[in-house]
């Protein structure tokens, strides 16, 4: 393969704490890249050892390597501070946070890489994914580092390796032999695997006789090994947990889909690690095992509702809590999970979220075309181009009357705390908004029971509500993803007659994006246009159709509905009214669904009143 590597290390991002292990991580990755035979001119290190690191330096390196069009693989490694803003990853460079652009917009860069010329791009991030704190951090917009020059043909493979889960830190650990020396345990563990120190995860290449480290076995190795190492290294009064994450779209056994090619003997069979552990090591592995059990439960809950249309909420929550629910019949071999007492705070939040959002409430229709139902907050004002939205029941209901022939209208709902939500009112549908404190955690669209759609929908209402509740809660925690046959199953479950469940489609679009499955997103866009004569903004964006003249005329609302879609606006160079430039700065960094601050509400209201949007 013709390969290149861009290795980025930022020890100091303005006033944030200095990171001690960053440069060692970059040096280790450089040594490994050169040992793999990658041309030294195609290994570029960009660190703050000699000066500031800027987005332009990284863009220039990417453009230089991608320009000739002859690369088979590009590896981009980053060590430094990371932040999660609106559920999107940003790598902080030297001038972040004062300069909102002095960061790498990872999500936007991934989307452009998928449409680029390099067949396989690998992002490796040894950085925190904690939520942004403060107005400055929340205002980070970042820069996309791949050129916006889409090429025809199939989308390229893009694999992402994260040192930790969404919302969690990546830890540096003091070296016991030298109190001033720190280790980046993720990079350390990664390099061991890439150097062949764990030959059991390698696979032989029949042509060369070398053993290959491929992305999928590497992902599985890191998931098992890293939590054990971090917990073992931090044993004491405050042991730490760190679970890595990876989102892979590459073919597990495809040609030229590997990271290391090594001259290694056939690995010998070894006894399981746990049989050799004693004392603190055994406790570390036990904790790591429990961590993996906890993390797998939301995914198991989703698979339960995906595969069993008759599953009920008690069964779903039983999966999360490690309990067999309902009680097993007499003579059944099904028993409760012995680890059921270990239910993390995160999984308790997941269970609470499922219960909160699955239960329907309020009227099932209005004497109009459509409207909104709100729980956990109250609406004090409505803005729409037609001035047809009316408040009812002390602001917990909003009735919308569409003009004849109009399929939809964008409505700005202002809450009693001054924040606001921009959503489409869709003919024949009621939208349910669920708030948890200051955050909008779910939006669900269901047919009105006085519409022609209701008869078919009611036969599957409980099934779809349960599925939506599980997906919404998983999305909020950053654990919703599709694996194996899940994608096809979800596609079938979302479909109702010739159409598709609008709210499920929004969640699914991001999961399909993570898979690199843009074709499925475009199919959803087609379904929606054929059935509803509209296309939701986020689906048009992720399908790459946001600028298509035909689709553009049917897009509602005129800004993203899900918070994580904002990171992709720059990658697709979306046109918005001049007054709304920089609107991402007015979006809550914590809410799953887009929630605007009071200043943002004022700007959107002005644009609506001026009649510049639909």
Give the per-residue pLDDT at 479: 80
> Is 578 or 332 the better-scoring residue by pLDDT?
578
Give the per-residue pLDDT at 344: 65
- Going by C-beta distance under 8 Å and a sequence separation of 6 or more, which residues neighbour residue 466? 305, 311, 312, 313, 316, 354, 358
Helices (H), 339-485: 345-358, 454-458, 461-477
> Is 275 or 15 the better-scoring residue by pLDDT?
15
CA distance 575 to 580: 10
**Pick from 605, 570, 572, 573: nearest CA to 584:** 570
Whether residue 328 has pLDDT greater than 80: no
Mean pLDDT of 138-144: 90
pLDDT tens, residue by residue, 75-133: 999 999 999 999 899 999 999 989 999 999 999 999 999 999 999 999 999 999 988 87
Lowest pLDDT segment from 122-136, 148-162, 228-242, 498-512 = 228-242
pLDDT band for position 336 (50/70/90)? very low
Whether residue 244 has pLDDT greater than 60: yes
Instruction: Provide, rounded to the nearest whole percent, the portion of the chain with pLDDT above 70.
Output: 89
Kind plus residue range of the DSSP H or E element containing 485: none
Mean pLDDT of 284-296: 60
Whether residue 324 has pLDDT greater than 90: no
Give the per-residue pLDDT at 57: 98
3-state SS string for 394-430: HHCEEEECCCCCCCEEEEEEEECCCCEEEEEEECCEE
- Going by C-beta distance under 8 Å and a sequence separation of 6 or more, which residues neighbour residue 224? 288, 292
pLDDT band for position 330 (50/70/90)? very low
Whether residue 138 has pLDDT greater than 80: no
pLDDT tens, residue by residue, 558-604: 999 999 999 999 999 999 999 999 899 999 988 999 999 999 999 99
Mean pLDDT of 146-150: 91
pTM for the model stands at 0.89
pLDDT tens, residue by residue, 254-264: 989 999 999 98
Whether residue 355 has pLDDT greater than 90: no
> Is 234 or 476 the better-scoring residue by pLDDT?
476
**Pick from 521, 531, 529: nearest CA to 551:** 529
- Residue 526 tokens read as 């087609």
Stated length of the chain:
614
Whether residue 197 has pLDDT greater than 90: yes
pLDDT band for position 322 (50/70/90)? low
Whether residue 550 has pLDDT greater than 80: yes
Supply angle C-alpha 93, 245, 257, rounded to 5: 90
Pairing state of beta strands 211-213 and 203-204?
antiparallel
Give the per-residue pLDDT at 339: 42
User: If DSSP codes are grouped into helix, strand and coil, which group holds residue 284?
Assistant: helix
Lowest pLDDT segment from 82-86, 177-181, 463-467 = 177-181
Whether residue 277 has pLDDT greater than 50: no
Mean pLDDT of the chain: 88
> Are 215 and 194 in contact, with CB atoms under 8 Å apart?
no
Whether residue 337 has pLDDT greater than 50: no
Q: CA-CA distances (angstroms) from residue 424 to 368, 469, 537? A: 15, 20, 10
Whether residue 179 has pLDDT greater than 80: no
Give the per-residue pLDDT at 283: 58
- Going by C-beta distance under 8 Å and a sequence separation of 6 or more, which residues neighbour residue 343? 294, 320, 321, 322
Give the per-residue pLDDT at 478: 81
CA distance 181 to 175: 5
Whether residue 173 has pLDDT greater than 70: yes
pLDDT tens, residue by residue, 52-74: 999 999 999 999 999 999 999 99
Give the per-residue pLDDT at 291: 60
Place of tokens 């290449």: 205
- Residue 590 tokens read as 């914590």
Q: CA-CA distances (angstroms) from residue 223 to 52, 76, 218, 293? A: 33, 20, 9, 12
Neighbours of 570 (CB within 10 A): 21
CA distance 499 to 457: 11
Rg, the chain, Cα only: 25
> Is 344 or 403 the better-scoring residue by pLDDT?
403
Whether residue 230 has pLDDT greater than 90: no
Whether residue 35 has pLDDT greater than 80: yes
Give the per-residue pLDDT at 370: 95
pLDDT band for position 183 (50/70/90)? confident
Give the per-residue pLDDT at 374: 98
pLDDT tens, residue by residue, 95-104: 998 999 999 9
């Amino acid at each position: 393969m013709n390969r290149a590597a861009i290795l980025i290390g930022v020890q100091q991002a303005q006033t944030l704490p200095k990171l001690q292990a960053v440069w060692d991580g970059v040096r280790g990755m450089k040594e490994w890249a050169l040992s793999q035979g990658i041309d030294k001119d195609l290994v570029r290190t960009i660190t703050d050892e000699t000066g500031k690191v800027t987005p332009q330096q990284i863009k220039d390196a990417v453009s230089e390597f991608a320009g000739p069009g002859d690369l088979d693989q590009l590896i981009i490694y980053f060590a430094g501070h990371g932040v999660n803003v609106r559920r999107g990853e940003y790598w902080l460079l030297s001038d972040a946070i004062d300069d909102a652009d002095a960061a790498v917009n990872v999500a936007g860069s991934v989307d452009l890489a998928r449409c680029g010329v390099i067949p396989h791009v690998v992002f490796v991030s040894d950085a925190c994914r904690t939520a942004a704190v403060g107005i400055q951090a929340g205002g980070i917009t970042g820069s996309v580092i791949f050129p916006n020059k889409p090429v025809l043909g199939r989308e390229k493979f893009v694999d992402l390796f994260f040192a930790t889960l969404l919302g969690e830190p990546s830890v540096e650990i003091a070296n016991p032999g030298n109190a001033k020396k720190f280790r980046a345990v993720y990079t350390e563990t990664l390099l061991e695997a890439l150097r062949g120190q764990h030959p059991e995860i390698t696979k032989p290449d029949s042509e060369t006789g070398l053993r290959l480290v491929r992305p999928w076995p590497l992902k599985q190795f890191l998931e098992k090994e890293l939590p054990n190492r971090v917990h073992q290294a931090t044993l004491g009064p405050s042991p730490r947990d760190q679970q890595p994450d990876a989102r892979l779209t590459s073919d597990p056994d495809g040609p030229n889909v590997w990271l290391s090619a090594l001259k290694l003997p056939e690995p010998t069979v070894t006894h399981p690690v746990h049989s050799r552990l004693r004392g603190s090591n055994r406790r570390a592995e036990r904790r790591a095992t429990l961590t993996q059990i906890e993390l797998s439960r939301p995914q198991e809950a989703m698979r339960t509702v995906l595969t069993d249309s008759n599953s009920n909420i008690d069964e779903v929550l039983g999966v999360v809590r490690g309990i067999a629910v309902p009680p097993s019949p007499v003579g059944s071999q099904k028993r409760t999970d012995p680890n059921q007492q270990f239910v993390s705070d995160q999984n308790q939040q997941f269970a609470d979220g499922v219960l909160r959002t699955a239960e329907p409430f309020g009227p099932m229709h209005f004497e109009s075309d459509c409207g909104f139902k709100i729980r956990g907050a109250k609406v004090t004002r409505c803005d729409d181009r037609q001035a047809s939205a009316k408040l009812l029941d002390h602001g917990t209901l909003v009735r919308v009357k569409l003009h004849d022939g109009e399929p939809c209208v964008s409505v700005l709902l202002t809450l009693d705390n001054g924040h606001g939500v921009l959503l489409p009112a869709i003919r024949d549908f009621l939208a349910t908004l669920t708030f948890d404190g200051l955050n909008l955690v779910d939006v669900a669209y269901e047919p009105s029971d006085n519409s022609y759609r209701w008869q078919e929908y009611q036969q599957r209402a409980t099934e779809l509500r349960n599925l939506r509740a599980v997906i919404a809660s998983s999305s909020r925690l950053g654990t919703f993803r599709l694996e194996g046959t899940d994608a096809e199953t979800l596609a079938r479950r979302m479909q109702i007659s010739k159409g598709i469940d609008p709210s499920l489609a929004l969640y699914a679009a991001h999961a399909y994006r993570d898979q690199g499955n843009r074709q499925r997103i475009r199919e959803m866009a087609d379904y929606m246009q054929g059935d509803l004569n509209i296309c939701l903004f986020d689906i048009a964006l992720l399908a790459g159709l946001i600028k298509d003249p035909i689709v553009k005329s049917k897009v509602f609302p005129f800004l993203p509905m899900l918070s994580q879609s904002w990171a992709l606006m720059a990658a697709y160079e979306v046109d918005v009214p001049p007054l709304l430039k920089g609107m991402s700065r007015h979006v809550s960094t914590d809410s799953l669904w887009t929630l605007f601050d009071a200043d943002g509400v004022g700007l959107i209201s002005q644009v609506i009143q001026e009649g510049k949007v639909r």
